[in-house]
Amino acid sequence: MAKPARILTFKCKKCGKSVQVFLQKVSACSHIQPYQGLCSCGELHRHATGQADAVQSYLNSANDDWTHSH
């Protein structure tokens, strides 16, 4: 299985600039690979790949202390 990328780049939805998101260390499982980054305009950007319900839970969370557990 290939390792997930550590850094991904997206376009900010607020200002249109490039924003880098970094792989977050949440768990050692392969169900989710969460990413988070802050645009220079101050907009928080989240992205995740993996199991659909875990991804949706992460994207809907409003704080930085989200965790994935079994």
pLDDT digits (tens, 9 = 90+) for 10-25: 999 999 999 999 998 7
Residue 9 lies in a domain: no
Asked if residue 11 is part of any domain, the answer here is: no
| Measured distance CA(44)–CA(8) in Å, rounded | 14
- Is 37 a member of any domain? yes
Angle at 8 between CA 7 and CA 14, to 5 degrees: 125
- Whether 47 is in a domain gets the answer yes
Average pLDDT, rounded, for the chain: 87
User: What is the rounded radius of gyration, in angstroms, for the C-alpha atoms of the chain?
Assistant: 12
When divided into structural domains, the chain yields a total of: 1
pLDDT above 90: percentage of residues in the chain: 56
| Sequence-ordered list of residues with C-beta below 8 angstroms from that of 66, at least 6 positions apart, any chain | 26, 34, 57, 58
Residue 12 lies in a domain: no
Give residue 50's domain range.
24-62
- Does the residue 17 lie in any domain? no
HSE of 7 in the Cβ direction (CA atoms, 13 Å)? 5
